[in-house]
Amino acid sequence: MQEKVYNVLFLCTGNSARSIMAEALVTTMGKGRFKGFSAGSQPGGTVNPFAIEQVAHTGYPTDALRSKSWDEFGMPDAPHMDFIFTVCDNAAGETCPYWPGHPMSAHWGFEDPAAVVGSDEEKRVAFNRIFRQIMARMNIFVSLPLHMLEKNAIEREIHAIGETSV
């Protein structure tokens, strides 16, 4: 019997860094159980090169990464989402589109590494720190026995993950 593959959408404002890294991490760490997607409320149109550097280490295909609007995932032909996570405080406070199927959602806030001002090395350090924080939460998430938990238990767990200090 084939195990269900859960679709997970990560939302941020610009869809250039945190949501991109989360998309790659859930897909690679989920070992076939999860398919990651990312989008933004006001996508900047480009993926931050420091985010691409971090994603490259996962084996996720970086050529497929792109900054895109969350409107794509509200369309009738869009993949059905099982989970939606906001990863920046701005997106958490915005009014999100209607998501077909009423996916479970939670806020997993992370600092914006793209906001760091300084040398490339300082930016790289910031991106690596946030990448590791996302990875820590993702490790908990992909380890949840979703097939055994009731919806209320899953919702409690995904909210608790967002409150985990990283």
User: Given this model, what pLDDT does residue 136 score?
Assistant: 96
Which pairing describes strands 34-40 and 104-107: parallel, antiparallel, or unpaired?
A: unpaired
In single-letter form, the type of residue at position 18 comes to R
pLDDT of residue 47: 97
Query: Residue written as tokens 């690679």?
Result: 28
Confirm whether 1 is domain-assigned.
Answer: no
The range of the structural domain enclosing residue 42 comes to 6-162
Confidence of residue 1 (pLDDT cuts 50, 70, 90): low
pLDDT given at position 90:
62
Tell me the per-residue pLDDT of 82-117, one tens digit each, with 9 for 90 and over.
999 999 876 555 556 666 777 899 999 999 999 999
CATH number of the domain that 131 lies in?
3.40.50.2300
Domain total of the chain: 1
Give domain status of residue 96, yes or no.
yes
Question: Would you please indicate which residues are annotated as catalytic (active-site) residues?
Answer: 12, 88, 96
Q: Which residue from 55, 44, 45, 53 is spatially nearest to 20, judged by alpha carbons? A: 55
Q: What is the pLDDT of residue 76?
A: 84
Is residue 154 one of the residues assigned to a domain? Answer: yes
Name the DSSP letter for residue 166: -
CA dihedral 15, 16, 18, 19 (to 10 degrees): 30
User: Which tens digits make up the pLDDT trace of 26-74?
Assistant: 999 999 999 999 999 899 999 999 999 999 999 999 998 999 999 998 8
The predicted-structure confidence for 110-166, as pLDDT tens digits, reads as follows 999 999 999 999 999 999 999 999 999 999 999 998 877 788 888 888 989 988 777
Question: What is the per-residue pLDDT for 93?
Answer: 55
